[in-house]
């Protein structure tokens, strides 16, 4: 999932779009959120911005 965010850095990606582009068809909302938490722990919380009601964006 990080690779998807990295490839689209600076662009907001919704939960559904992240799952589709990462090849994870049946990704639950809870699982997606936990993956984002893991990414934030790995690269720093300030690098992944939450855009309310839209999704997430990797900050460049």
Region 15-27: what's the mean pLDDT? 87
Close Cβ partners of 48 (under 8 Å, ≥ 6 residues apart): 5, 36, 39, 40, 56, 57, 58, 59
40-60 pLDDT tens trace: 999 999 999 999 999 999 998
Percent of the chain with pLDDT over 90: 68
User: Could you tell me the domains of the chain?
Assistant: 2-58 (1.10.10.10)
DSSP3 helix / strand / coil % (the chain, rounded to 5): 55, 15, 30
Region 6-35: what's the mean pLDDT? 90
Residue 25: per-residue pLDDT: 76
């Amino acid at each position: 999932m990080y690779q998807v965010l990295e490839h689209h850095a600076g662009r907001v990606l919704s939960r559904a779009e992240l799952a589709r582009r990462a090849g994870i068809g049946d990704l639950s909302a809870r699982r997606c959120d936990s993956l984002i938490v893991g990414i934030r722990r790995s690269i720093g919380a300030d690098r992944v911005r939450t855009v309310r009601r839209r999704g997430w964006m990797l900050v460049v």
